Homo-oligomer: A and B are copies of this chain.
Amino acid sequence: MESTMKDVAKLAGTSLMTVSRVLDGSKNVAPETRGKIRQAIRKLHYRPHRTAIELRTKRSNLVGVVMADIANPFYPPIVRGIEDVCREHDYNVILCNTDEDTQRENNFIQVLKERYAEAIIICSAKPKIDNQAELFASFRSTVFLNRRPRNVNGDLVISDNLRGAYLAIEYLIGKGHQKIAVINGSQRFSTGRERFQGAKKAMADKGIRLEDKYVKFTNSSIEGGYCAAKELLNLPSLPTAIFSGNNFMTLGLMKAIKEARIKVPDIVSVVGFDETNWSEITNPSLTTIKQPTYEMGVVAAKLIMFRLNNPQSPYVEKKLKPTLIIRDSVKQIVQHQTTITGVLMAN
């Protein structure tokens, strides 16, 4: 049924070797022979068997992409970027979704090894990579994406989370806000830590105090954002603005705000990290920090291809710039002396 090179050779009246040469695009084949072989290939609907090639050459043209949660709208554009570049280079992508489960992550890495994947792009669910050498030894190229696990030593593609958070807070302060609350995702990951650092730094640079009661840490989920937001909204002295550290937490925040029947931005202004499909349809539409997701994928895949060809080149770190998307969820507030006094007193 499925034909092989042997069948082609027989039909064309040549040897395996010559068929192989034609397939390779080698010049050293007589035009006549080439013609016969081409015809035989067409007639038999012949397609090379990847598996045999892989076994023989130890090259799979396979890139493993291990993502933490494909249901998070942050990831699909990244995957798309990776795929587009890989296709250009004639590599196939095998996509693995760990759902933030380190067990599943290990499993997938094993599977990718067993299938001879040449390279891996991974957004790890692990805060720390203990055995990078052992775990990733078989890949000729490894790129860590989005998160920088501790102990990692390799190519890295991230967005400038610190700057992203900084932009958000700076914008709020520019709009006259001083009582600013921050909902931070898991500090186990560099993303969470850097965004918190960015928020702190913006406050410090502008000489505004980030009050403890306005700082919440939670896990980066809808539920986490919801709970943190509820605590903030129950405070005797409400913040005038809330910055939320990722799209899921923003969803939770919006839910809590709705339940509390608090008007945005009249009572509380909101800036959310991550641009999403639904940023425009909330009431009011959401001012967000947009990460260059598709580009992150493109850059990661290019890095993979580069290292495949330059195994010895030094590791690089690509840090892409997020941008502020201004919509309607932040109010310009007039700065009364009383407000400032209020803040000081509340402490």
Q: Return chain B residues, CB-CB under 8 Å to A114.
A: 47-50
B70 adjacent to A277 (CB under 8 Å): no
Any chain B CB within 8 A of the CB of A116? yes
Q: How far is the CA of A254 from the CA of B276 in the complex (A)?
A: 15
Any chain B CB within 8 A of the CB of A55? yes
Which single member of B2, B51, B54, B83 contacts A97 (CB below 8 Å)?
A: B83
Which single member of B51, B77, B97, B258 contacts A79 (CB below 8 Å)?
A: B97
Minimum CB–CB distance from A285 to chain B (whole Å) comes to 7
Any chain B CB within 8 A of the CB of A130? no
Any chain B CB within 8 A of the CB of A231? no
B73 adjacent to A77 (CB under 8 Å): no
Minimum CB–CB distance from A299 to chain B (whole Å) comes to 19
Any chain B CB within 8 A of the CB of A266? no
Q: Return chain B residues, CB-CB under 8 Å to A71.
A: 73, 76-77, 80
A116 adjacent to B49 (CB under 8 Å): yes
Which single member of B49, B52, B111, B285 contacts A258 (CB below 8 Å)?
A: B285
Minimum CB–CB distance from A224 to chain B (whole Å) comes to 14
Q: How far is the CA of A52 from the CA of B56 in the complex (A)?
A: 9
Q: How far is the CA of A49 from the CA of B80 in the complex (A)?
A: 29
Minimum CB–CB distance from A283 to chain B (whole Å) comes to 4
Minimum CB–CB distance from A69 to chain B (whole Å) comes to 8
Query: In this complex, what residue of B is CB-closest to A276?
Result: B278
Fill in one digit per residue for A77-96: 1 if any B CB lies within 8 Å of its CB, else 0. Answer: 10110010000000010111
Q: How far is the CA of A95 from the CA of B248 in the complex (A)?
A: 24
Q: Return chain B residues, CB-CB under 8 Å to A277.
A: 222, 248, 251, 278
Most buried by B among A54, A79, A99, A285: A54
Q: Return chain B residues, CB-CB under 8 Å to A73.
A: 71, 73
Which single member of B51, B83, B258 contacts A51 (CB below 8 Å)?
A: B51
Any chain B CB within 8 A of the CB of A290? no
Q: How far is the CA of A144 from the CA of B1 in the complex (A)?
A: 24
Q: Return chain B residues, CB-CB under 8 Å to A77.
A: 71
Query: In this complex, what residue of B is CB-closest to A62?
Result: B115
Q: How far is the CA of A258 from the CA of B138 in the complex (A)?
A: 53
Tell me the chain A residues, 131-166 only, with Cβ under 8 Å from chain B.
137-138
Tell me the chain A residues, 268-288 only, with Cβ under 8 Å from chain B.
276-278, 280-283, 285
Tell me the chain A residues, 36-59 only, with Cβ under 8 Å from chain B.
47-52, 54-55
B282 adjacent to A283 (CB under 8 Å): yes
Q: Return chain B residues, CB-CB under 8 Å to A321.
A: none
Q: Which 3 A-B pairs have the closest CB atoms?
A: A71-B76, A283-B283, A95-B95
- Could you list 4 further interchain pairs (A-B, Cβ under 8 angstroms) beyond the known A222-B277, A276-B278, A278-B278? A51-B116, A70-B70, A95-B97, A255-B281
Q: Can you report 18 residue pairs joining A to B where beta carbons are below 8 Å apart? A: A2-B138, A47-B114, A49-B114, A49-B116, A50-B114, A51-B54, A52-B55, A71-B73, A71-B80, A80-B99, A83-B97, A248-B277, A251-B277, A251-B278, A258-B283, A258-B285, A277-B278, A283-B283
